[in-house]
A and B are shown apart, each in its own frame.
Chain A
Amino acid sequence: MRFLKTDERGDPAALKKADGDITGWMARRRWARVGIVYSVMILFAIILVGPMLFAALSSLKVNPLEYPPSLRIPELNPRNWVTAAQLGRAGAGDAFQGGFAPGAEIPFDLTYFYPEGTDPAPPDVEVPRRRPGSGLGAARTIDYAADYAEVSALEVVERERGEHEVDGTREDGVFVTYSFAVRYVGDGPLVGRVPLAATAERGHHYVDSTLPASRLERRGMVASFDNIAPGLGRYVVRNYSRVFDEARSVTTGRSLFVAWTRNSFLVAFARVLTNVVFASMAGYAVARYRFRGRFLIFFGLLFAQMVPAQVTFISNYLLVRDGLFGLSHLFGRDTFLNSLWGVIIAGAGSGAAMIHAGMVFVMKQFFETLPRDIEEAAEIDGAGTVQRYIRVVLPMARPALGAVIILTFQGTWNEFFWPLVVLTSPEEVKTLPVGLLAFRQVYGVAGDWGLILAGAILSALPVIVLFVVFQKYFMQGIAFGGSKE
């Protein structure tokens, strides 16, 4: 309400005008508020999703720690895609995977800047004998491009005077572009990648090349290329292909990331199965029956979720270590340590478990909302307890079972502590979260964040897809009591 001045009081026309005025004024305010709310929502979205998105984009870079961080990613530049595909075809006749095959001739250009007063000598170009990364895959014997490659003499194809920024100041000088080719000599195997190193004298500056250099070493003297014949795929998702290619078991040579993914799926599936079957049974009993000790079970449900996993893991670790009362002999082993069975069967407390107290709770809450009439009708028809449960109750419980499936899958997929305790060695018994920790330890030392980020993003994909498709169940899960693990 607009406040009327004293002399306007009692004047109906003024009152009416003021009313119309204030309605327009309020409407304006409402619209402005909606605009601001949307802006704030977008801002929140940027803050909350931004880091993951930025990490996903940076995982494409050769060096995700490039400073200043930039979203101008050469790997996303279509011009480089074409070049990478062409180089891949030149290297191995494969525009997507690239490589180095007999008969290959890979053309390559390098541009250097020579400041006034320096002698424009061409850089020293070689194909070094370098293994891809260190750590988890380093045990394999591989073929080196260096053993089959020959670098042709450098030819000057362009010479141009100009200015270039050197250490923050612009200097006059000359740009020289050299062209050469790397040839495959004789016959031999298909080699995965062709590294290249161009060493210049101090004072000469690398400017550009057919594909940008992976990194500059020795204070800019060496322009180093991880692969000059990458093909489109190996170029754009370089770190992602490294996740699969480089981290391999030292004993079997199989990809660790594939093994970890398989293990994670196995454990998650087993847990989903046990929870769907047993938690619904338990939830049903608590919701429908009156029995002695019901109150105690409520307490069990509550405490099982409150007592830290660190309390129960001490004894559970020893149980699993000693094979769970001889149960492990059924599986032909003395211990459940370093076995997925150990992860699946044991585990309790606030961590995920074979039958999770939180899931029992979700089911109990749901069954309490179901009317009893149908069950009673079935009982009158002469259906037994078990029959009634399977034929009548479970089909009605689909929405709750959906929530249990989704939440258990997500919880188990993300579970860290218990697998960390049970799965230690060798690397291929681990699940994804524990395996990613190994990535962190091995590649983090060398500052190789590209591979770590790529692995992290890949491992998050299944739950993100699940979330996008079955969002409703996640929200339900939170509503049922927030059993986020």
Chain B
Amino acid sequence: MDLYGTKYNEEPGGRPGLTFNSLKRSTQEQISAYLFLAPFLITLAVFFLYSTGRAFYFSFTDYNLFADPNWVGLENYLSLFRQSLFLRALQNTLLFSVIVTTVQTFLALVMATVLNQRIRGLAFFRAAYYIPSIASSVVITLIFMWMYQRRGLINYLWTEARRHAPIILLFIALVIVLQVAQVIWERRRGYPARWVDPALFLISFTVGAIGTLGAWVAGVVSVRPLPPVDFTWLATRVRLPGWAPSFLRVPVPLVAIMIQNIFTTIPTMMIMYLAALQGIPPSFYEAADIEGASVPQKFFRITIPSVRPVTFLVVALSLIGTLQMFDQVAIFGDAVPLESVITLSYYVYDRMFPGAQLPQVGLASAAAMFLAILTMLAVLVQRVFIKSEAE
């Protein structure tokens, strides 16, 4: 399977087309085909092939838009790796791509599994989930920037979570204790109750909520009078987590973009997974149920292998998207320190249009070539990786 789920080299149509005037016919076909393809091929040639070739050529020159280009050999590629800004861009891009791809693929699959129920209203919810993905990156980034302000929604929710921490923790503890107690009791009665039994969970949840409320009213737990959290999400150079080695630390503004990116991409991926999950025969799960497989066992043994082709597609799209992340960096702009969020794509743009100096077209082209090769390598490697897993 390739990226689009078809084989490129298969015969079109499907009917063997040999007739008595086959030679003439095939010539006709050639001409018609190229006439139909002409507009597409012309734009592809000018805006894709020619431009890629020209960027490749520029990457070996010192072109600056004003003076004529001079051949400098590999100098641009070598000097890239001496530039701290490029190294930072490379580091940011790799961290961003790996973390975001992993998290969003996993979450999308988990969410799809939860939603994989034959129930009414699924179409409505699916549509609702998709809404954040259809708005432009600018709209979503502006809304997130607003939420990331010092006294914005995200710090507010964080503040409230911290203030209510004792209550929340008590509630969670109660639910766990109740659930465990119920499951043990049901098993004693001879029912095959699971640790995550839904009916019992509803009871645990309700009783836990009432218990917590009671404890709150009785004053056993209370809201802590903590000051508002004033975490700086944007204009900061702090890198997290502090205990990690330097090359694994992620700048906070980049974390902000990661959260936003995961948020907007999950729905699309979830819908792709959902389509694949609904194609798994229910008999698979029923057979597993009879053998007494647990929920995680079913997830890892049945669900994940069944959706492997979709996983390939999702991971490939995600890698391409994340390695080329540009919009968010440009929109955050001067609200964040450049080196905290700069990615390879933005580095290319930045060298093409630097503010303080002459444009460095050669350097920009070299970085662009590097990015293109990185993208293709990533897709290739994951393809080999996921394929070999399947065999």
- Report how far A45 CA is from B368 CA in the complex, Å: 38
Q: How far is the CB of B69 from chain A (nearest CB, A)?
A: 11
Counting residue pairs across A and B whose Cβ atoms lie within 8 Å, the total is 334
Is A52 located at the chain interface by the 8 A CB criterion?
yes
A348 in contact (CB, < 8 A): yes
Instruction: Identify A416's interface contact among B37, B125, B137, B364, CB under 8 A.
Output: B137
Contact B151 A67 (CB under 8 A): yes
Neighbour of B152 across the interface among A65, A300, A310, A433, CB < 8 A: A65
Tell which of A67, A307, A410, A420 has the most Cβ of chain B within 10 Å: A307
Residues of B within 8 A of A67 (CB): 151, 156, 228
Task: Indicate if the CB atoms of A348 and B43 lie closer than 8 Å.
Answer: yes
Binds B, one of A32-40, A83-91, A138-146, A203-211: A32-40
B376 at the interface (CB under 8 A from A): yes
In A315-346, the 8 Å CB interface with B consists of 315-319, 346
Give CA–CA (A35, B197) in the complex, Å: 13
As a 0/1 sequence over residues 25 to 59 of chain B, the CB contacts with chain A under 8 angstroms (1 = contact) are 01011101110110111011011101111110010
Query: Across the interface, which residues of A come within 8 angstroms of B268, CB to CB?
Result: 478, 482, 484
**Contact status B32-A385, CB under 8 Å:** yes
A289 and B47 contacting across the interface, CB-CB below 8 Å: no
Question: Given A281-B36, A456-B139, do A289 and B29 touch, yes or no (CB 8 Å)?
Answer: yes
Residues of B142-192 whose CB lies within 8 A of A: 142-147, 149, 151-153, 156, 190-192
Instruction: Please name the residue on chain A nearest to B57 by beta carbon.
Output: A315
Give the size category of B's interface with A: 35 or more
Are B143 and A479 neighbours in the complex by a CB distance under 8 Å?
Answer: no
Residues of chain B contacted by A468 (CB below 8 angstroms)? 127
Please report which residues of chain A, range 128-182, place their CB below 8 angstroms from some CB of chain B when the two chains form the complex: none
- Among residues of A, the one whose C-beta sits closest to the C-beta of B199 is A32
Also in contact, A484 and B133, with CB within 8 A (given A41-B115, A308-B368, A440-B142): yes
Measured CB to CB, the closest approach of chain A to B320, in angstroms, equals 6
Which residues of B are found within 8 Å of A307, using beta-carbon distances?
Answer: 48, 52, 372, 375
Residue of A nearest to B7 (CB): A298
What is the minimal beta-carbon distance from B119 to any residue of chain A, in angstroms?
Answer: 6
Contact between chains at B317 and A482 (CB < 8 Å) = yes
* Min CB gap B310→A, angstroms: 10
Pairwise interchain contact B136-A414, C-beta atoms closer than 8 A? yes
Return chain B residues, CB-CB under 8 Å to A44.
111, 115, 125, 129
Which of A295, A410, A421, A444: most chain B Cβ within 10 A?
A444
Give complex CA distance A385, B138 in Å: 44
Asked if B379 lies at the interface with its beta carbon under 8 angstroms from chain A, I say: yes
Given contacts A48-B132, A355-B39, A368-B12, contact A441 B324 (CB under 8 A): no
Cβ-based interface call for A115 (8 A): no
CA distance A64 to B142 in the complex (A): 13
Q: Is B213 an interface residue (CB 8 A)?
A: no
- Among A341-400, those with CB < 8 Å from B are 346-350, 353-355, 357, 360-361, 365, 368, 372, 385, 389
Cβ of B9 within 8 Å of any chain A Cβ, yes or no, is yes
Specify which chain B residues have a CB less than 8 angstroms from the CB of A286 in the assembled complex. Answer: 12, 37
B84, CB-defined interface residue at 8 Å: no
Stretch at the interface among A22-30, A105-113, A183-191, A249-257: A22-30
Contact A289 B58 (CB under 8 A): no
Contact call B131/A285, Cβ cutoff below 8 A? no
Is B80 positioned at the interface, with any CB of A under 8 Å from its CB? no
Cβ-defined contact, A315 with B151, below 8 A: no
B215-223, B239-247, B248-256, B345-353: which lies at the A interface?
A: B345-353
Q: Contact: A28 with B199, CB < 8 Å?
A: yes
Residues in A with CB closer than 8 Å to B323 are 308
Docked CA distance A441–B44 (Å): 35
A13 at the interface (CB under 8 A from B): no
Contacts of B128 in A (CB 8 A): 45, 48-49
Q: Are B55 and A312 in contact (CB under 8 A)?
A: yes
Chain A residue contacts of B11, Cβ below 8 A: 290
A73 within 8 A of B: no
- Give the segment of A96-104, A229-237, A459-467 that binds chain B: A459-467
A residues at B contact (CB < 8 Å): 1-5, 18, 22, 25, 28-29, 31-38, 40-41, 44-45, 48-49, 51-52, 54-55, 58, 64-65, 67-69, 277-279, 281-282, 284-292, 294-295, 297-298, 300, 302, 304-319, 346-350, 353-355, 357, 360-361, 365, 368, 372, 385, 389, 410, 413-417, 420-421, 432-433, 436-437, 440-441, 444, 449, 452-453, 456-457, 459-460, 463-464, 467-468, 471, 474-475, 478-479, 481-482, 484
Contact sample, A vs B, 25 pairs, CB 8 Å cutoff = A5-B190, A34-B119, A40-B115, A67-B151, A68-B156, A69-B156, A281-B36, A289-B29, A289-B30, A291-B29, A291-B34, A294-B33, A302-B8, A306-B376, A308-B345, A314-B348, A314-B364, A348-B44, A365-B6, A416-B331, A420-B330, A433-B136, A433-B139, A437-B138, A481-B3
Query: Considering the complex of A and B, which 9 residue pairs feature the smallest CB-CB distances, nearest first?
Result: A414-B136, A315-B51, A348-B47, A285-B36, A32-B199, A289-B33, A282-B40, A315-B54, A32-B198
9 more contacts with CB within 8 A, not counting A58-B146, A433-B137, A467-B127, are: A49-B129, A52-B132, A278-B40, A290-B26, A314-B352, A355-B43, A360-B40, A389-B36, A436-B139
